[in-house]
């Protein structure tokens, strides 16, 4: 009887540990999948597999991605600095609401600039794809978003 209880507890423990390991592995893979890659060639090679890109297309995608990263990296740094400044204002005993509102406007403008740059890059990349690749690209975008978002419901 005692052995059966220990065996059941062991099986439950192994199951829980496997569940935790699988969840952490899934989280790590998803984080890697959606991270903006600094290396345009790495990004292009990933897309080459999914979209069946030619070598010329890979070079175009890599070059465009590298240009985009050079534009968005300084924006990300500015966003980080503005957010730190905002948190500093919020941590003060007397919050300067006018300054906080100005920073929120600055953050919004920078975020819009970043999103626009990424969108422009995707539009430019799509121009270099065949109709079949464009279809796969759209499917890839839809798959990356949950069906409840307006974006996922169609272009």
Phi and psi of 46, rounded to 5°? Answer: -60, -45
Residues 141 and 69 grouped into a single domain: yes
pLDDT for the residue numbered 52: 87
* Number of structural domains found in the chain: 2
User: Each residue of 64-81: pLDDT tens digit?
Assistant: 999 999 999 999 999 999
How many CB atoms are closer than 10 A to CB 124? 14
CATH number for the domain that contains residue 76: 1.20.120.1490
- Kindly list the distances between the CA atom of residue 83 and the CA atoms of 30, 80, 89, 115, in Å, as whole numbers in the listed order: 26, 5, 10, 17
pLDDT higher than threshold 70 for residue 137 = yes
Residues 76 and 45 grouped into a single domain: yes
pLDDT for the residue numbered 144: 65
User: Each residue of 5-48: pLDDT tens digit?
Assistant: 777 877 887 777 777 777 767 666 655 544 455 667 787 888 88
Do residues 100 and 67 lie in contact, with contact meaning Cβ atoms separated by under 8 Å? no
Residues 113 and 131 grouped into a single domain: yes
pLDDT higher than threshold 70 for residue 153 = no
Residues 56 and 21 grouped into a single domain: no
Residues 126-144 have a mean pLDDT of 86
User: Which domain, by its residues, includes 11?
Assistant: 1-35
Residues 138 and 63 grouped into a single domain: yes
Residues 127 and 140 grouped into a single domain: yes
User: Each residue of 89-131: pLDDT tens digit?
Assistant: 989 899 898 999 999 999 999 999 999 999 999 899 899 999 9
Residues 5 and 69 grouped into a single domain: no
- CA-nearest of 60, 66, 65 to 130 is 60
pLDDT for the residue numbered 33: 45
Structure tokens at 36: 């903006």
pTM above 0.85, yes or no: no
pLDDT higher than threshold 50 for residue 84 = yes
Distance CA 138, CA 153 (A): 11
Distance CA 121, CA 143 (A): 19
Residues 11 and 70 grouped into a single domain: no
Is the pLDDT higher at 33 or at 56? 56
Structure tokens at 101: 């509102």
Residues 70 and 6 grouped into a single domain: no
Residues 76 and 117 grouped into a single domain: yes
pLDDT higher than threshold 80 for residue 60 = yes
pLDDT for the residue numbered 45: 82
Residues 88 and 12 grouped into a single domain: no
């Amino acid at each position: 009887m005692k052995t059966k209880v220990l065996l059941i507890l062991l099986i439950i423990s192994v199951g829980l540990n496997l569940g935790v390991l699988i969840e952490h592995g899934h989280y790590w893979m998803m984080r890697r999948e959606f991270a903006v890659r600094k290396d345009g060639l790495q990004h292009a090679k990933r897309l080459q597999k999914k979209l069946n890109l030619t070598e010329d297309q890979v070079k175009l995608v890599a070059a465009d991605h590298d240009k985009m990263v050079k534009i968005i990296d300084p924006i990300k740094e500015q966003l980080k600095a503005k957010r730190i400044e905002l948190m500093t204002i919020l941590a003060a005993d007397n919050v300067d609401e006018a300054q906080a509102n100005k920073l929120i406007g600055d953050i919004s403008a920078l975020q819009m600039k970043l999103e626009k740059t990424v969108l422009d890059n995707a539009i430019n990349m799509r121009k270099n794809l065949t109709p079949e690749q464009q279809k796969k690209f759209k499917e890839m975008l839809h798959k990356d978003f949950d069906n409840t978002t307006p974006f996922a419901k169609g272009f």
